[in-house]
Structure 1
Amino acid sequence: MSLISLKSIELNYGNPSLLNDITLSIDANERICLLGRNGAGKSSLLKIIQGDLLPDSGEVIVKNGIQISRLEQEVPNDLNGTIYSIVFQGLDKLGMLINEHKKAIQNLEKNQSGDTYKKLEKVQQKLDSVGGWNIEQKVLKILSRLNLNFNSEFSSLSGGIKRRVLLARSLVLEPDVLLLDEPTNHLDIDSIEWLEEFLKTYNASLVFITHDRTFLKSLATKIIEIDRGSVFIYEGDYKNYLLSRDKRWNDEKTESELFNKKLAKEEIWIRQGIKARRTRNEGRVRELKKLRQKYKARRTHQGTVNIALSEVKKSGKIVIESNNVSVTIGEKCLFKDFSCVIERGDKIGIIGSNGVGKTSLIKVLLGQINPSKGHITIGTRLQIAYFDQLRNTLNENLTVLDNLSDGREFVEVQNSKKHVIGYLQDFLFSPERIRTPVSALSGGEKSRLLLAKLFAQKANVLVMDEPTNDLDVETLELLEERLQSFKGTLILVSHDRYFLNQVITRCFVFEESGLNHYIGGYDDWIIQRLDENKKTKRINQSTKNTFNVKKIQVRTKLSYNEKRILESLPDKISKIEKEVSDLNNKLSDPIFYKKNLEKVKLTKKKLIQLNIELDKAYVEWELLESKMNKNIS
């Protein structure tokens, strides 16, 4: 039996329905990802599953004894108190019972009457029946697992830590079904990777909404897409979902074209002259009426965001140069002695934990704040457009239209004028939504409005601080394509590993050793970091076992074949190391990334294969050496 079943769920916020005849089930230990456009009804569906939102019709069946917890998308503004008190709220009725027990004890201390004893005994019996005596220990255990200090004030925490506290609150009852709404928002990459591993081993069913495709690929065992009020269920991984979704869209397009042809043919027939009307049959007329009703009720697939980047005059070749730059805020040194040259066409990703100084690095590079030490040189002919993580460039009291237009009727895009309303419709704002105050927009709509403002500016340098938050997957894919083809310079802060891999050609990474520079995307940084660790290990190993001679004189009882392999290994290892070195040099050249992207991927794949071969060769050499030395002794 399913843990939760939804049958014929309808949810209406006007016409058409947000959710239309939704039927689905959640089984034990499933990990379901909900996908769909911004505003498709994903968050509403999670609220219906939990019982926080009642559908207009339909039925939600929850198996007896099932506990459900939900992590909300946004951090509530009205939460105050210590981390412990916030997490304790997640206990719901059990928490109220524990508080009731504490009050009963306090009352007994003041008045030791028969009634107070009876009330205390009654509460204790309730706690016995639900196993509530160890619950406070469970709260502390969850806080420890999430590395949270239970005495810290919630209001003093960063956005990422607040999200972690809310996650702890949703976990404290050890729910059978865990609902997560954009759990990676405002988390840094380390926290996201920790959460992935935690959820992989968490013994519960999981239903989550995410725009993070790496997170999705790592966790989902099933994908449910909400599209125009209906659900489409895909078993298997993300790759299978993409193939099946595209096939569904193509089939729908073909079916729609056939339907339109049939309807047009029947409309021509019904409008023919007197002769045709005398001979027409009433069955065909009734069928035409049905076709008209079906056409009226049909919901066509919503178009994609139309992101167009305007070509502007090139900047100078050197965009930004830093020489031995250090930044200290208060007593905290964010980074020191950082030198780099950012050239025209570079696409830079900035990677690091929350609070480490990524935004400060951007401000220093752009000359908005002065470094504590060192010197920044800003290039010539720079036209900079800035996408702000905190959305400070949006006026919450103004409408979508007023935020973009500043009194103008037209914006200039790709060297041609476009009316602001038509331009906003390219970013999927309906005429009604265009005149809505920004304060009433969803997180995804605010991000789309920021993109609209950003790309309405003429720029040869784009600075984007966490642009992927709240965007749906389709919009992210289109944004990736546009940034890949952008001929200017990009400086990007993002926690989205997939997005970084698709877009950037170099990265600046905040590490324990300092602020370091790597060629390539996120995965390239990981590979280079592993290579550095392996190189260190090999250097240490070579001090113990040197084999600088071209031939090894085998002096003991190895088989003929083993002797032959051992003698050939130094040449084999040298050859592989040369190939690895050549590929690393190629991948260290920023110009290489501006060429054929497919060739870049093949080169990376070849490098991984060579490193595997190299490791195998070293292992084989060490085993044969060990065997030879053992025989000698």
Structure 2
Amino acid sequence: MLLSAEHITRSLGARVLLEDVSLYLDRGEKLGVIGANGAGKSTLLKILAGAEEPEGGAVRPDPNVRLEYLPQSPAYGEENTLLEQVFAGLDAAAREVAGHEAKTVLTRLGLSDFERKMGTLSGGERRRVALASVLVRPADVLLLDEPTNHLDAEMVGWLEDFLKRWKGALVMVTHDRYFLERVVDRMVEVENARLTFYTGNYAAYLERKAELMEMAQASERKRQSILRREYQWVMQGAKARGTKSRERLERFESLRDQEGPEARGRVELTALSSRLGKKTVELSHVSKAFAGRTVIRDFSCMLLRDDRVGVIGSNGSGKSTLLNLMAGRLRPDSGAVELGETVRIGYFSQENPPMDPEQRVIDYVKDVGNYIETASGTLTAGQLLEQFLFSGDQQYSPIGKLSGGEKRRLFLLSILAAAPNVLLLDEPTNDLDIDTLTVLEDYLEGFPGAVAAVSHDRYFLDKMCRRTFLVDGEGEVTETPGGYSDWLESRKEKAPKAPAAERKEKPRGSQKLKFSYKEQREFETIEGDIAALEKKIAALQAQQAAQASDYVALGRLQAEEARAQGELEEKMERWVYLTDLNERIEAQKEE
């Protein structure tokens, strides 16, 4: 076991985030952490990383475990270059080993100017440097808090592949459902200060969660049925409540006092919209440049009345610029943007507007309106907040007490409550929990107006979009029918294929073979690693023979042996490769 956290308790003021919870992490395990905004996910990761102390309980990592942690707000030195920041705290030998990999990872994360100073970077760029720093360091455990934030879809796909191949253990807070589906093998939900574990990926979690909810509801229906019968008996009169019926009375009182399954809050809101005429938003031969660089060139499009458009592209390519042109927040250098007379735009920007930390949550919504008209009737500001998971206490609390995700949710509520008929959403999935994302998607499905959304969330794009605009960073905007996966498939089909002659592998004799520094060190130590694993497996088998009658211990030992056997197989495959490479290098020297 690499890491154990037992009986952890942590509060935030009067609010208990974690109460007597435990978590155990085994070698090679990949654990996804989910939960509502403000539930305590980041707090759990901080405690596991040793960045925050629990009020009760203890975290015990294996003394030989190397652990790397990516927080939501990583520290940095303003005068450090990108490479200096990535290598901060590493000795010269470790820097030499990680040098090439660091440059490769930074480049894949869109940061190729390695001498640039950290103080000149945006918040998203600084976070990507921090992510690179974590990924290139030797580690047995990675603790990643929202690693996909501020990554474009292509970077997210690369990171997903990286973590799928990575052999160490992983604990990751994320709302990226494709990540949870494709990377993790176990999930934990932080809810009501407790941890609930689920074996498998996101799909397995959804299936098991639905089963548990159905079982809880069935048990509650049975309890209510028994309670009604017992109530009728109790109300029959004194004759039925003689001394021999005392046990039955106690049973009734026990059933009456039981709490049913807690109704889980959900964001449920009938789509709010004002009437939209035939004309919505039309761009005609629009161009826009900044500092001599054209980001949108001669682009024309019209949003249909019920359109669902996804806008994708690398960071800095011009996605937000396109949305701002549609919204009329930016004027084009050439061309025209026309809005229909009945258009009411709701613009959900990438950054929250300034919020008065002393203003009460309910007053923030009342600034939009005391009463909100919906398709289902009139809602008060308080009722609307309840549908967006803000409890009565939170509604009358100052905004400054909300988490980042809760502020994001409040901002989204204020946009939707104004009843727009054209929604322009810039990174709406950042900092929103999965429940809120799911209901936002359901909301958009029933929204009677047009929607255009910039997003890196591939799941969201696939579920929401009917067409996708790619902004390529060179001024071109191209359209593909469908969502992100459809665009990805079309790109593969259009990719030029090299002639057969070019695809042939070059003869090995034309290449100068040599070990990398990392391979050389691995070759020198791998036989010792194999011997140690064989010794460990023999010891585990001996322990199983000695504890054959203890089924609990036997199961644990068998699981440990299976993991060790898997590691041994990987080491043997690696030994074969390195030995073969060494023989070819030696043969090359003799030629």
TM bin, normalised by shorter chain, reads 0.7 to 0.9
| Structure 1 gaps, min length 5 | 96-131, 542-633
Aligned to 1:146, the other structure's residue is in SS state helix
Instruction: Say yes or no: does 1:457 pair with 2:380.
Output: no
Does the CA-based 8 Å contact 1:31-1:220 persist in structure 2?
yes
Instruction: Say yes or no: does 1:325 pair with 2:289.
Output: no
Aligned to 2:39, the other structure's residue is in SS state coil
Other-structure match for 2:78 = 80
Other-structure match for 2:152 = 188
Aligned to 2:430, the other structure's residue is in SS state coil
Percentage of pairs with the same residue: 34
* Whole-Å separation in 1 of the counterparts to 2:494 and 2:94: 46
* Whole-Å separation in 1 of the counterparts to 2:169 and 2:324: 43
Does the CA-based 8 Å contact 1:12-1:19 persist in structure 2?
yes
Aligned to 2:79, the other structure's residue is in SS state coil
Q: In structure 2, what residue type is equivalent to 1:475?
A: T
Aligned to 2:86, the other structure's residue is in SS state helix
Aligned to 2:142, the other structure's residue is in SS state strand
Instruction: Say yes or no: does 1:216 pair with 2:180.
Output: yes
Aligned pair partner of 2:401 in 440, 453, 459: 440
Does the CA-based 8 Å contact 2:327-2:424 persist in structure 1?
no
* Whole-Å separation in 2 of the counterparts to 1:323 and 1:408: 36
Does the CA-based 8 Å contact 1:80-1:86 persist in structure 2?
no
Q: In structure 1, what residue type is equivalent to 2:471?
A: F
Instruction: Say yes or no: does 1:144 pair with 2:87.
Output: no
* Whole-Å separation in 2 of the counterparts to 1:334 and 1:520: 24
Other-structure match for 1:239 = 203
Other-structure match for 1:25 = 24
- Cα offsets for 1:292-335 (capped at 9, x unmatched): 6643xx6613221122212421222x322223221111121112
* Whole-Å separation in 2 of the counterparts to 1:531 and 1:88: 40
Worse overlay, 355-364 or 264-273 = 264-273
Does the CA-based 8 Å contact 1:222-1:233 persist in structure 2?
yes
Q: Residue 51 and residue 84 in structure 1: after superposition, are their counterparts in 2 closer, same or farther (change >3 A)?
A: same
Other-structure match for 2:523 = none
1:239, distance to aligned residue in structure 2 (A)? 1.9
Worse overlay, 35-44 or 283-292 = 283-292
1:477, distance to aligned residue in structure 2 (A)? 1.4
Instruction: Say yes or no: does 1:497 pair with 2:458.
Output: yes
Instruction: Say yes or no: does 1:62 pair with 2:71.
Output: no
Aligned to 1:44, the other structure's residue is in SS state helix
Does the CA-based 8 Å contact 1:462-1:489 persist in structure 2?
yes
* Whole-Å separation in 2 of the counterparts to 1:136 and 1:201: 23
* Whole-Å separation in 2 of the counterparts to 1:312 and 1:84: 52
Does the CA-based 8 Å contact 2:314-2:473 persist in structure 1?
no
Other-structure match for 1:203 = 167
* Whole-Å separation in 2 of the counterparts to 1:198 and 1:531: 24
Q: Residue 394 and residue 464 in structure 1: after superposition, are their counterparts in 2 closer, same or farther (change >3 A)?
A: farther
* Whole-Å separation in 2 of the counterparts to 1:378 and 1:346: 15
Q: Aligned runs of 1:475-554 on 2, under 5 Å?
A: 475-511=436-472, 514-533=476-495
* Whole-Å separation in 2 of the counterparts to 1:341 and 1:495: 23
Q: Aligned runs of 1:62-211 on 2, under 5 Å?
A: 62-74=61-73, 80-82=78-80, 83-89=82-88, 91=89, 132-138=91-97, 140-147=99-106, 148=111, 149-171=113-135, 173-211=137-175
1:37, distance to aligned residue in structure 2 (A)? 2.0
* Whole-Å separation in 2 of the counterparts to 1:54 and 1:264: 48
Aligned to 1:18, the other structure's residue is in SS state strand
Aligned to 2:280, the other structure's residue is in SS state strand
Does the CA-based 8 Å contact 1:142-1:168 persist in structure 2?
no
Does the CA-based 8 Å contact 2:366-2:381 persist in structure 1?
yes
Instruction: Say yes or no: does 1:379 pair with 2:357.
Output: no
Aligned to 1:471, the other structure's residue is in SS state coil
* Whole-Å separation in 2 of the counterparts to 1:39 and 1:450: 16
- Cα offsets for 1:168-214 (capped at 9, x unmatched): 33345422111111111121112212211222222311111111112
Aligned to 1:343, the other structure's residue is in SS state coil
Q: Aligned runs of 1:347-366 on 2, under 5 Å?
A: 347-366=308-327
| Structure 2 gaps, min length 5 | 501-591
* Whole-Å separation in 1 of the counterparts to 2:410 and 2:175: 18
Does the CA-based 8 Å contact 2:271-2:446 persist in structure 1?
no
* Whole-Å separation in 2 of the counterparts to 1:87 and 1:405: 46
Q: In structure 1, what residue type is equivalent to 2:96?
A: Q
Q: Residue 88 and residue 397 in structure 1: after superposition, are their counterparts in 2 closer, same or farther (change >3 A)?
A: farther
Other-structure match for 1:312 = 274
Q: Aligned runs of 1:230-629 on 2, under 5 Å?
A: 230-263=194-227, 273-279=237-243, 283-284=247-248, 291=255, 294-295=258-259, 300-316=262-278, 318-392=279-353, 394-406=355-367, 408-414=369-375, 416-511=377-472, 514-533=476-495
* Whole-Å separation in 2 of the counterparts to 1:515 and 1:397: 43
Aligned to 2:180, the other structure's residue is in SS state helix
Worse overlay, 496-505 or 225-234 = 225-234
Does the CA-based 8 Å contact 1:33-1:208 persist in structure 2?
yes
Q: In structure 1, what residue type is equivalent to 2:414?
A: K
Aligned to 1:190, the other structure's residue is in SS state helix
* Whole-Å separation in 2 of the counterparts to 1:47 and 1:291: 40
Other-structure match for 1:588 = none
* Whole-Å separation in 1 of the counterparts to 2:469 and 2:435: 27
* Whole-Å separation in 1 of the counterparts to 2:390 and 2:208: 28
Q: In structure 2, what residue type is equivalent to 1:210?
A: T
* Whole-Å separation in 2 of the counterparts to 1:167 and 1:158: 14
* Whole-Å separation in 2 of the counterparts to 1:69 and 1:75: 12
- Using structure 2 for the length normalisation, give the TM-score: 0.76
* Whole-Å separation in 2 of the counterparts to 1:218 and 1:438: 36
Worse overlay, 199-208 or 411-420 = 411-420
- Cα offsets for 1:103-158 (capped at 9, x unmatched): xxxxxxxxxxxxxxxxxxxxxxxxxxxxx551333564453132254432223213
How many correspondences in the alignment? 493
Other-structure match for 1:624 = none
